[in-house]
A and B are shown apart, each in its own frame.
Chain A
Amino acid sequence: MADENEVKDPRIDGIKTKIRVVPDFPKKGIMFQDITTLLLDPKAFKDTIDLFVERYRDMNISVVAGIEARGFIFGPSIALAIGAKFVPLRKPKKLPGEIIFEEYELEYGSDRLEMHVEAVDSGDRALVVDDLIATGGTLSAAMNLLRRVGAEVVECACVIELPELKGRERLEGKPLYVLVEYR
């Protein structure tokens, strides 16, 4: 968490209040965490990026991998600020050229995440970014893609965590950093 045992960064509350919770989307029973309202507040959005940048700028990260599509909203700004390359991890058939893919489970069925083979290699230190971690399935697939090309996954970073879904446990011991928990 972004506060651990210390005094919470004063920017966190401002960020949390900007996230809109939409009940029963995409289906009944799900309380959807909508970050689009955060993006409408330039100061809160900037604070969000700054918190990640402050954490990662001295960690020698060479790759920020962002998960389509909301990881694309946060990842590139972090990458630009810390001098890392940005690598999009995409749904099937979107990336041209040579790719590798990783399958992951959905509630019903499965899906795939794809990455360009030549985008990342061994020696790269990677950060995986998405707006939210729920079950951890997508993040886990992302980590596998990076590991398969020999990169070291340093950490996963999300704006929001749904701790009850225990996504953290699916990250095979890799650390997770989040700004806000929703219980």
Chain B
Amino acid sequence: MQTIIISSPLVSHRLSLALPVPRSPLINYHHGAPPSIRLSSHRFTNSLRLFSSAAAAAAASRDSEMATEDVQDPRIAKIAASIRVIPDFPKPGIMFQDITTLLLDTEAFKDTIALFVDRYKGKDISVVAGVEARGFIFGPPIALAIGAKFVPMRKPKKLPGKVISEEYSLEYGTDKIEMHVGAVEPGERAIIIDDLIATGGTLAAAIRLLERVGVKIVECACVIELPELKGKEKLGETPLFVLVSSA
């Protein structure tokens, strides 16, 4: 895939610095639909990518669905701008996507929830599963607004009573995700929420866990995607919906 990388100065992570955010529209072709504008907008990062249209068309079939069909929803830019990127956390080389600054912006947080609710309301979804811990911040407001139950998917030993668990790989070693037995029933339609998809390991484990008990996962929904980590590929048949793609 051809890419053109434009560098801008690496800037400090401090919230109080307001530097101009370099932005360019990306022309993206979705499955033969009219071209849509995709804003890859992020604060304090050190690169931008512009995809050639041919490359974009090739990539379109692999792209997660962005929160746009035609012109980008005007709420997206503000949401993207409210996310703080912290370099070298939790370790050197990682650009951490910090959503806590989004939560401090009452309009941006409200819009974030509204975008998910607009998408999932009236679609007969009875389960919103949220991955500990940042999935607990976004999942319940969505569940409440669409009339679904909220099911927390937790690290080991946090849930009392009978649980089922699913193991998944980490960079070094493995971890487990757990859910209560009886929280969901076969045939229920679910969405899985987390703040961000990186490698997709956690979400893939959450999908497996729900599928084991006969639940249909309609979609995985995240605020942020890190597309270079190709997390979408781990989700198999399950579609992914994100608001902001941070390249």
Q: Which residues of A contact B (CB under 8 A)?
A: 20, 22, 25-26, 32, 34, 36, 39-42, 45-46, 49, 68-70, 72-74, 76-77, 79-80, 83-88, 90, 93-98, 116, 118-119
Contact = CB atoms under 8 A, between A and B. Distances in A.
B175 interface: no
B141 interface: yes
Given A36-B180, A118-B15, A42 B148 contact: yes
Interface in B199-240: none
Contacts of B160: 22, 25-26, 32, 34
Q: Which of A70, A76, A87 has the most CB of B within 10 A?
A: A76
A50 to B, nearest CB: 10
A44 B143 CA distance: 12
Contact of A69 (B84, B110, B133, B143): B133
Contacts of B144: 42, 45-46, 49, 77
Interface string B145-170: 00111111010011111000000000
A125 to B, nearest CB: 14
B109 A86 contact: yes
B105 interface: yes
Nearest to B132: A69
A101 to B, nearest CB: 15
A22 B103 contact: no
Contacts of A96: 13, 86, 89-90, 96, 98
B149 A72 contact: no
Contacts of B183: 36, 40
Contacts of B154: 69
A119 B143 contact: no
B113 A42 contact: no
B136 interface: yes
A134 to B, nearest CB: 15
Given A77-B144, A118-B15, A86 B103 contact: yes
Given A34-B161, A85-B104, A118-B15, 10 more contacts: A39-B140, A39-B143, A39-B149, A42-B148, A72-B137, A73-B140, A79-B103, A86-B103, A88-B103, A97-B98
Q: Which of B13, B100, B141 has the most CB of A within 10 A?
A: B100
A93 B13 CA distance: 17
Interface residues of B, number: 42
B87 to A, nearest CB: 9
Contact of B161 (A20, A72, A80, A86): A20
Nearest to A69: B133
A10 B140 CA distance: 23
Interface string B14-26: 1110000000000
Contacts of A34: 160-161
Contacts of B104: 85-87, 119
A85 B101 CA distance: 10
B103 A41 contact: no
Contacts of A20: 161
Given A34-B160, A39-B151, A95 B100 contact: yes
Contacts of A36: 151-152, 159, 180, 183
Contacts of B174: none
Contacts of B96: 96
A77 B15 contact: no
Contact of B133 (A25, A39, A72, A98): A72
Contact of B103 (A70, A85, A90): A85
B136 A69 contact: yes
Contacts of A85: 103-106, 109
A36 to B, nearest CB: 6
B139 to A, nearest CB: 8
Given A73-B136, A80-B141, A97 B13 contact: yes
Interface string B105-139: 11001100100000000000000000011101110
A97 B143 contact: no
